[in-house]
Structure 1
Amino acid sequence: MPLFAMRKESSPGTSPSAPATVRMVEVTDEHDGQRVDNFLFRLCKGVPKSHVYKAIRDGNVRVNKGRIQADHRLEKGDVVRVPPFRLPAPDAPRAVPPAEFPMVYEDEGMLVVDKPAGIAVHGGSGVAFGVIERLRAARPQAPMLELAHRLDRETSGLLMIAKKRNALLGLHRMFREGLGSKRYYALVQGDWVNDRQHIKLPLLKWTTASGERRVRVDREGQAAHTIVTLKQRFGRYSLVEAELRTGRTHQIRVHLAASGFPIVGDDKYGDDETRAAFARQGFNRMFLHAHQLTIPHPLTGETLDLHAPLPRACLQLLKTLESA
């Protein structure tokens, strides 16, 4: 008895490396009771699992003409519609490597990770893939994973990701209405004067001749508000906490630089000589870390107070400055 009984229906526009037709596969005794995802993995050897799960989510895989979930159990005599999966070409870009990141919080609606410095939150602008693509690759069965906000590539710390559409909309609404707070630690060049200071400078996006995105203080820009609190002095440097009251691109970086206190390691708005000096000591990043997130949960309204401690490299640098 054959493992699979097959019928065909035409499907134009498929890749030469893939079957040229949609296949209608009848389930035999051997696969009675098997999950449909495992059934497809065996039938479509070589096809990435993420492609299979996407086809199921998109409704391109059907059982007896009906949409199903990945954990649907097949019965003898069921007819499975199998779409023409494309196999990666030999010269295709490399697959996204799956990765999980340090988890700070997770429930059915959202998750919050502690993003390392040096990793973009998403692909684009010369970056093949970022946190969100790698998380999706690590969780191919997740129906949805969407960034709720952004962190710069060289900024570490708390990053929120929605797992449901209503959670994403709730987080976006929270940001629009200015609910909750996001606090960052930054090491700045200079001896910060005030214990607490409000910086309200409008910010305007612009593009350099080479196509690089930048932000500057400009009266034609959008209103921006950052509250800066002094945490510790180190002579020529200061550790401050910056609380965002608005969420403009590069807001903390530009507000601090425009106030005469650029962030250590900032390659866009900081001091090149200072960055090079710290790099020679082994500190090769920007000292900006999203350490606290206090928000109402987008689905329950419960207050979440989440924390991410300073990374080891930042703590070591502070110890070095203390002993200098």
Structure 2
Amino acid sequence: MRVRVDDASAGQRIDNFLVRVCKGVPKSHVYRILRSGEVRVNSRRVDQTYRLQLDDEVRIPPIRLAEKAAEPVVPFGKPFDIVFEDEALLVLDKPAGLAVHGGSGVSFGVIEQLRRQRPEAKFLELVHRLDRETSGLLIVAKKRSALTVLHDMMREGKVRKRYLTLVAGRWLNPMQHVKLALHKYLTEGGERRVSVNSEGKPAHSIVRLLKRWQSYSLVEVELKTGRTHQIRVHLSHLGFPLCGDDKYGDFSLNKQLEKQGFKRMFLHAAKLAFHHPLTDQLIELEAPLPPELERHVVQVEQTEEKEYG
């Protein structure tokens, strides 16, 4: 098989390219055919670190695969709410309850559905992740060149991300920097968890108070680092668990909220600001609170006024 390298694959390492093109082929076999010289680029041998150039011709030898069980069909699903889009990237407003990608017991996620909805798209890759129960702004790259730059920007803290959350308790400070290192570990059941631990990786959140009542506070959290479950663990550790958080929250409170009809975690990726990876134009985006979160804030306000006046 001969494959001509297009914009979507230019700049990618040959080994990663082969893993993507030869779906289902074990990585060990991919490296074997590279080492043996069976894979040729422009009729020449290359090693696994070679980065493909636009219009390179890649020769891939015939590869036999053992028959596999049919992969689950990805449903078309409801079209996503696209907040921004151009030729290099798109930003969508992810609904709560949907994983960003398949794996770990999930057959499909946002990226698989998006590819199903856009069969003509040659390249669609996640730039970052959101927890399954978190709603809000999610960036998807449509070009590899944009993906590479955006990943660098993420690592360097050049993408400003702000979240809205409702927590249990009265948050007092108008603005507070939270700098607590976080450590990832697995529970006995094999579930991923995160805890505050001085030996963990540095994590920095900036919490701004938006509104508070006697029992709850609505806050905006700006992430200066992007650690797993950062907002949830930082706030829970300080005694302000997120409403509806089934991992780090107040479980008895969550049960009460469920009886009142609130059945998700209150965390929403509300704002993004970054310079376009290819044009350097400043992009500032905002996604309003989903209706179920807006309704819950109104319900809290009404309940607190009745109880405390």
Give the TM-score range, shorter chain.
Answer: 0.7 to 0.9
> Structure 1 CA distance, aligned partners of 2:81 and 2:88?
18
Query: Per-residue deviation at 1:138?
Result: 1.1
Displacement over 2 Å in runs of 4+ = 91-94
Counting aligned pairs with the same residue, the percent is: 57
| Structure 1 residues 46-125: aligned runs within 5 Å | 92-99=70-77, 100-125=79-104
> Structure 1 CA distance, aligned partners of 2:110 and 2:157?
25
> Structure 2 CA distance, aligned partners of 1:284 and 1:104?
26
Equivalent position SS for 2:200? coil
Query: Per-residue deviation at 1:235?
Result: 1.6
Answer whether contact 2:126 2:140 (CA < 8 A) is retained: yes
Query: Per-residue deviation at 1:92?
Result: 3.1
Answer whether contact 2:98 2:133 (CA < 8 A) is retained: yes
Any gaps of 5 or more consecutive residues in structure 1?
A: 1-10, 12-56, 60-82
Equivalent position SS for 2:91? strand
The answer for the alignment partner of 1:218 in structure 2 is 197
Q: Which amino acid aligns with 1:98?
A: F
1:133 aligns with 2:108: no
1:179 aligns with 2:184: no
| Larger-Rg structure | 1
Normalised to the residue count of structure 2, the TM-score between the two structures is 0.76
The answer for the alignment partner of 1:256 in structure 2 is 235
Query: Per-residue deviation at 1:94?
Result: 3.2
Q: Which amino acid aligns with 2:182?
A: L
> Structure 2 CA distance, aligned partners of 1:125 and 1:138?
23
Change (3 A) 1:58 1:248: closer
Query: Per-residue deviation at 1:93?
Result: 4.3
| Structure 1 residues 261-276: aligned runs within 5 Å | 261-276=240-255
> Structure 2 CA distance, aligned partners of 1:322 and 1:273?
20
> Structure 2 CA distance, aligned partners of 1:272 and 1:121?
25
Cα offsets for 1:97-156 (capped at 9, x unmatched): 124311100000000000000000001111010000111111112110000000000000
Q: Which amino acid aligns with 1:198?
A: H
Answer whether contact 1:183 1:290 (CA < 8 A) is retained: yes
| Structure 1 residues 1-324: aligned runs within 5 Å | 92-99=70-77, 100-324=79-303
Paired positions, count = 247
> Structure 2 CA distance, aligned partners of 1:231 and 1:143?
42
Any gaps of 5 or more consecutive residues in structure 2?
A: 2-19, 23-61, 304-309
The answer for the alignment partner of 2:13 in structure 1 is none
Q: Which amino acid aligns with 2:198?
A: R
Q: Which amino acid aligns with 2:286?
A: H
> Structure 2 CA distance, aligned partners of 1:200 and 1:102?
34
Answer whether contact 1:184 1:288 (CA < 8 A) is retained: yes
When structure 1 is superposed on structure 2, of 312-321 and 173-182 the one drifting more is 173-182
Cα offsets for 1:248-285 (capped at 9, x unmatched): 00000000001110100000000101111111111110
Answer whether contact 1:98 1:136 (CA < 8 A) is retained: no
Query: Per-residue deviation at 1:58?
Result: 5.4
Q: Which amino acid aligns with 2:74?
A: V
Answer whether contact 2:72 2:107 (CA < 8 A) is retained: no
Equivalent position SS for 2:300? helix
* Pairwise CA RMSD: 2.5
